């Protein structure tokens, strides 16, 4: 029975192809692995610089691509679009904008301590204007980029790896000969981490690197004798020098940075505070924000000292001028700028870089150690390569020198050989089979030859002019130089001290050629403290404005003494508060405000200032219908009347705004505001048309509307008629209008209703 069961055929399981098999996995584990893979890709391959050359992949690939295209410093500039296209197509498949942005930044001297690209065209500016499109700009490599970043690439000093589609080779790191990670700094946001390394002075960074090479046990404090602190392209002043040792020890911290401010004499005895250097963090749109913040100090009544602010910056440098009053406490005002604007800002330091394929935060000593290790590596590989080449040259030269001594024998071998291989075999192994010799002695001598393969090839390719005496002397001298080079290279490779001296010599040459004085001052300063200036005492002033748009303020008592002259000379005149504002209502439905403190105080005969200069009002396009104090506006109901006869009342409180210009009312097409005035609680409104028609109705019939609403019809008029004037009469008040021989007493007009029947009186 068991045997029968054994003989039964077992079912054959079908073979499932590998790609069709279902693999069960935990969803959370799969997501975690995928996210970690993505994060590491961004961290290592995109966002963070390599500690060895201080470059991100996109920067490294752009420079290498330009080098391969031959766009060097001694050749014409080439279109940026050509560079971006080549870089994207061969090495960096992440979009043209990221490549062009990296190219632009490497060409901006206000962002990089050491620009690596020479840009031609509009590459943006320090105030935040972007670069022109890549099709308009051109670029080429800077001289230092060729010498310190791309030299020796042909000497096997760094590893080359396949590009993204394995059709090209690219360097995994550039053989940078200076501590670029410190010199140019870096900024980048990865996944879960960010790098922000300040730039440093090239000469100081090289001095610190040399100090580390001389004494690897040097402390951070010892290195800071050479590196005083960051050196920003925009200059400025680092004011927390006492915090720098801890920042350089840990690689993290906050640097307090101030702009540089100078005091100059201005016009009329005023004080000019001139900002000549800005904090590095203000590069970009920060200058516009700074100007707004300074203006806000005055608007928020933190100071009354500011007269004017102008940005006079140009290609020559930063120059922001703040004009102050004569009696300004300059130090107090500077401290206010430091506290209330970005003239003092913080730079968050996090010196994060890729070290051996992993992100690490490094202190100053660790950065220089990594730089030294890299310099030793590329120097070792460079001189190993050079030594191999010199040894090959030595072998060839020795073979040629030996060959000259037996040149007659070699010629006889060549003449007696049937082909090149036969002659070469004889030179290398002494095999004389098949070669015809004229003398037996020659065959015996030929059998003793033992040249190397390389020597034999060189002998066979040697030209006859090399046998000239002078050429032989040159060959012997060249051989002596080759032997000297071999000795020197072997010494460099075998003795650590010799290799260190070579690296130091290269660094010192770079410092001598490209070093420059420091721009950023390092000091210790007290925390900025300021006091808010005592606000001007609030008092009444007389505002006057003539028909030409010139306005000023006067002492109310003087205005009362010259009441008739004021009424005759000025179109608008009323009492306002010294801390308040004046509202100008225009025919096109706008309301402009003027700060009373911006108006000059004067006497009756003084001219004043055009209201265009102290508000948004434009006298070439607008007409003032009414001027009122903000106190009057906000405490009243305002009556609006237009030329088409529309009227309405608006609550004055709705006009309270911090904006200098607001829309006062909505107008129909082609319509204009004719009349604006506070509407009394009692009394009557009289509308007068250009055709001489009048309509009188109670104040209570004027409807209340919003600012953004059209009015309602006040009186019926003919097709070609329009409103000419509006009169407000108190209870029992009378007013007589005269035109030629006709006159009309407005107080005796029959009381009607709004939009009622008008009567012709003039």
Q: pLDDT exceeding 90 applies to what percent of the chain?
A: 62
State the burial class of residue 625 (Cβ atoms within 10 Å of its Cβ: 0-12, 13-18, 19+). buried
In this structure, the answer to whether residues 285 and 393 fall within a common structural domain is no
Q: Three-state SS for 57?
A: helix
Taking CA atoms, 565 is separated from 547, 599, 607, 609, in Å, by 14, 21, 14, 19
Three-state SS string over 269-311 comes to HCEEEEEEECCHHHCCCHHHHHHHHHHHHHHCCCCCCEEEEEE
Of residues 476 and 19, the one with the higher pLDDT is 476
Q: Within a domain: residue 123? A: yes
Computed on alpha carbons and rounded to an integer, the radius of gyration of the chain in Å comes to: 44
686: nearest Cα among 642, 731, 729: 729
Asked if residue 52 has pLDDT above 70, the reply is: yes
For residue 464, name the pLDDT band (cuts at 50, 70, 90).
confident
In this structure, the answer to whether residues 414 and 470 fall within a common structural domain is yes
Alpha helix stretches (DSSP H) within 174-280: 180-183, 202-214, 220-223, 244-250
In this structure, the answer to whether residues 334 and 392 fall within a common structural domain is no
Number of domains in the chain: 3
Q: Within a domain: residue 206? A: no
**pLDDT tens, residue by residue, 390-431:** 999 999 888 888 888 888 888 888 888 888 899 888 898 888
- Residue 189: the pLDDT is 84
Asked if residue 373 has pLDDT above 60, the reply is: yes
Positive or negative, the CA dihedral 148, 152, 156, 162 is: positive
Over residues 356-382, mean pLDDT: 95
Tokens of 677: 């005035």
Beta strands in 107-146 (DSSP E): 117-120, 138-141
- Residue 674: the pLDDT is 95
Taking CA atoms, 699 is separated from 152, 242, 712, 752, in Å, by 93, 73, 14, 11
Taking CA atoms, 491 is separated from 383, 392, 478, 729, 749, in Å, by 10, 18, 20, 110, 119
Q: Three-state SS for 733?
A: coil
Pairing mode, if any, of strands 521-522 and 237-238? parallel
Alpha carbon distance 420, 85 (integer Å): 49
The secondary structure of 540-580 as a DSSP string is EEEEEE-TTSEEEEE-HHHHHHTHHHHHHH-SEEEEEETTS
Alpha carbon distance 267, 263 (integer Å): 13
430: nearest Cα among 412, 411, 415, 443: 443
Q: Three-state SS for 438?
A: coil
Asked if residue 149 has pLDDT above 60, the reply is: yes
451: nearest Cα among 406, 399, 391: 399
- Residue 1: the pLDDT is 46
641: nearest Cα among 605, 667, 611, 608: 667
In this structure, the answer to whether residues 393 and 510 fall within a common structural domain is yes
CA angle 519, 521, 527 (to 5 degrees): 145
**pLDDT tens, residue by residue, 96-119:** 999 999 999 999 999 999 999 999
The dihedral region occupied by 253, where left means phi > 0, alpha psi between -120 and 50, and beta the remainder, is left
DSSP letter (8 states) at residue 45: I
In this structure, the answer to whether residues 333 and 411 fall within a common structural domain is no
- Find where tokens 């409104």 sit: 685
**pLDDT tens, residue by residue, 536-560:** 567 899 999 999 999 999 999 998 9
Q: Within a domain: residue 23? A: no
Beta carbons within 10 angstroms of residue 667's beta carbon: 20
**Last residue of some domain: 320, 342, 364?**
342
Domain of 452 in residue numbering reads as 380-514
As a whole number of Å, the end-to-end CA separation of the chain is 138
Over residues 230-244, mean pLDDT: 95
In this structure, the answer to whether residues 396 and 486 fall within a common structural domain is yes
Look up the pTM and report it: 0.68
Beta carbons within 10 angstroms of residue 194's beta carbon: 14
In this structure, the answer to whether residues 326 and 391 fall within a common structural domain is no
Compute, in degrees rounded to 10, the torsion defined by CA atoms 686, 691, 692, 698: -20
Positive or negative, the CA dihedral 172, 174, 176, 181 is: negative
Beta carbons within 10 angstroms of residue 150's beta carbon: 21
Tokens of 241: 């020098």
In this structure, the answer to whether residues 397 and 508 fall within a common structural domain is yes
Give the list of residues 6+ apart from residue 513 with CB closer than 8 angstroms, or none: 144
Give the list of residues 6+ apart from residue 164 with CB closer than 8 angstroms, or none: 91, 93
DSSP letter (8 states) at residue 44: I
The secondary structure of 204-232 as a DSSP string is HHHHHHHHHHH-TT--HHHHTTT--S---
Of residues 76 and 605, the one with the higher pLDDT is 76
Tokens of 480: 């002596």
Q: Within a domain: residue 540? A: no
- Residue 757: the pLDDT is 83
Answer for the pair 761, 742: CB distance below 8 angstroms, yes or no: yes
CATH number of the domain to which 159 belongs: 3.90.199.10
**Last residue of some domain: 465, 480, 514?**
514
Q: Within a domain: residue 538? A: no
* Residue 514: its H or E element: helix 496-514
Over residues 341-359, mean pLDDT: 93
Q: Three-state SS for 600?
A: coil
Alpha carbon distance 635, 679 (integer Å): 11
CATH number of the domain to which 458 belongs: 1.10.268.10
Alpha carbon distance 548, 571 (integer Å): 9
**pLDDT tens, residue by residue, 705-721:** 999 999 999 998 888 89
Answer for the pair 237, 260: CB distance below 8 angstroms, yes or no: yes
Rounded to the nearest integer, the mean pLDDT of the chain is 89
- Residue 211: the pLDDT is 96
Q: Which of 35, 38, 136, 439 is catalytic?
A: 136
- Residue 537: the pLDDT is 67
Alpha carbon distance 206, 509 (integer Å): 10
Q: Within a domain: residue 654? A: no
Q: Within a domain: residue 195? A: no
**pLDDT tens, residue by residue, 645-701:** 999 999 999 998 878 899 999 999 999 999 999 999 899 999 999 999 999 999 999
Q: pLDDT exceeding 70 applies to what percent of the chain?
A: 94
Tokens of 675: 């009349």
- Residue 758: the pLDDT is 87
- Residue 16: the pLDDT is 63
Asked if residue 504 has pLDDT above 60, the reply is: yes
**Last residue of some domain: 175, 198, 231?**
175
Beta carbons within 10 angstroms of residue 688's beta carbon: 22
Residue 136 known to be catalytic: yes
Q: Within a domain: residue 246? A: no
Taking CA atoms, 305 is separated from 79, 300, 322, 332, in Å, by 50, 12, 10, 11
Answer for the pair 648, 705: CB distance below 8 angstroms, yes or no: yes
* Beta bridge mates, 255: 347
In this structure, the answer to whether residues 324 and 391 fall within a common structural domain is no
CATH number of the domain to which 276 belongs: 3.30.1360.40
For residue 471, name the pLDDT band (cuts at 50, 70, 90).
confident
In this structure, the answer to whether residues 317 and 411 fall within a common structural domain is no
In this structure, the answer to whether residues 325 and 415 fall within a common structural domain is no
- Find where tokens 């060189």 sit: 458
In this structure, the answer to whether residues 296 and 394 fall within a common structural domain is no
């Amino acid at each position: 029975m068991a045997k029968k069961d054994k003989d039964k055929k077992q079912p054959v399981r079908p073979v499932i192809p590998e790609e069709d098999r279902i693999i069960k996995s935990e969803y959370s584990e799969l997501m975690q692995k995928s996210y970690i893979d993505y994060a590491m890709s961004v961290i290592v391959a995109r966002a963070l610089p390599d500690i060895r050359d201080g470059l991100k992949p996109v920067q490294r690939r752009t420079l290498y691509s330009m080098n391969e295209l031959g766009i060097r410093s001694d050749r014409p500039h080439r279109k940026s679009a050509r560079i971006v296209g080549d870089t994207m197509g061969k090495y960096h498949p992440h979009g043209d904008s990221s490549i062009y942005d990296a190219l632009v930044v490497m060409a901006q001297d206000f962002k990089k301590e050491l620009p690596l690209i020479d840009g031609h065209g509009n590459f943006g500016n320090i105030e935040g204007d972007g670069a022109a499109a890549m099709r308009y700009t051109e670029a080429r490599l800077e001289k230092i980029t060729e010498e310190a970043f791309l030299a020796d690439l042909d000497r096997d000093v760094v590893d080359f790896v396949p590009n993204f589609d394995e059709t090209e080779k690219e360097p995994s790191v550039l053989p940078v000969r200076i501590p670029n990670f410190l010199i140019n700094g870096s900024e980048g946001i990865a996944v879960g981490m960010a790098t922000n390394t300040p730039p440093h002075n090239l000469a100081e960074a090289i001095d610190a690197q040399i100090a580390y090479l001389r004494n690897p046990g040097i402390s951070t404090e010892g290195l800071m004798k050479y590196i005083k602190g960051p050196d920003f392209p925009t200059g400025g002043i680092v004011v927390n020098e006492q915090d720098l040792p801890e920042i350089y020890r840990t690689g993290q911290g906050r640097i307090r940075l101030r702009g540089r401010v100078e005091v100059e004499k201005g016009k009329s005895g005023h004080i000019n505070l001139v900002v000549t250097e800005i904090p590095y963090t203000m590069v970009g749109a920060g200058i516009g924000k700074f100007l707004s913040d300074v203006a806000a100090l005055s608007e928020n009544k933190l100071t009354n000292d500011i007269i004017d602010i102008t940005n006079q910056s140009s290609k020559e440098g930063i120059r922001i001028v703040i004009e102050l009053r004569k009696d300004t406490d300059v130090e107090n005002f500077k401290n206010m700028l430091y506290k209330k604007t970005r003239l003092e800002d913080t730079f968050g330091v996090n010196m994060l870089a890729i070290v051996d394929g992993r992100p690490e935060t490094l202190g100053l000593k660790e950065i220089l150690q990594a730089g030294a290790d890299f310099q030793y590596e590329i120097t070792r590989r460079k001189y190993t390569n050079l030594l191999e080449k010199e040894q090959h040259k030595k072998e060839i030269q020795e073979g040629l020198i030996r060959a000259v001594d037996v040149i007659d024998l070699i010629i006889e071998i060549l003449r007696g050989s049937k082909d090149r291989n036969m002659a070469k075999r004889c030179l290398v192994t002494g095999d004389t089979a098949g070669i015809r010799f004229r003398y037996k002695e020659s065959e015996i001598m030929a059998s003793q030859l033992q040249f190397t393969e390389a020597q034999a090839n060189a002998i066979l390719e040697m030209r006859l002019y090399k046998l000239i005496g002078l050429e032989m002397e040159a060959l012997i001298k060249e051989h002596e130089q080759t032997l000297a080079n071999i000795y020197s290279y072997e010494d460099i490779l075998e003795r650590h001290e010799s290799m260190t001296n070579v690296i130091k010599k290269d660094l010192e040459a770079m410092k001598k050629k490209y070093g420059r004085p420091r721009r950023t001052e390092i000091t210790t300063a007290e925390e900025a403290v300021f006091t808010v200036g005592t606000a001007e005492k609030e008092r009444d002033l007389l505002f006057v404005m003539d028909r030409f748009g010139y306005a000023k303020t006067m002492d109310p008592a003087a205005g009362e003494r010259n009441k008739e002259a004021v009424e005759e000379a000025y179109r608008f005149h009323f009492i306002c508060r010294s801390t308040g504002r004046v509202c100008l209502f225009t025919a096109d439905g706008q309301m402009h405000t003027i700060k009373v403190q911006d108006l000059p105080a004067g006497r009756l005969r003084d001219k004043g200032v055009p209201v265009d200069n102290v508000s948004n009002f434009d006298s070439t396009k607008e007409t003032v219908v009414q001027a009122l104090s903000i106190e009057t506006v906000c405490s009243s109901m305002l009556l609006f009347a237009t030329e088409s006869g529309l009227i309405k009342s608006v609550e004055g409180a709705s006009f309270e705004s911090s904006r200098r210009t607001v829309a006062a009312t909505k107008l129909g097409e082609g319509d204009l505001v004719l009349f604006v005035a506070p509407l009394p609680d009692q009394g009557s409104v009289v509308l007068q048309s250009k055709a001489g028609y009048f309509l009188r109705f109670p104040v209570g019939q004027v409807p209340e509307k919003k600012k953004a609403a059209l009015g309602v019809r006040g009186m019926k008029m003919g097709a070609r008629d329009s409103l000419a004037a509006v009169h407000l009469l108190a209870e029992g008040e009378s007013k007589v209008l005269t035109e030629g021989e006709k006159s009309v007493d407005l107080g005796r007009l029959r009381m009607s209703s709004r939009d009622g029947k008008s009567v012709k009186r003039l």
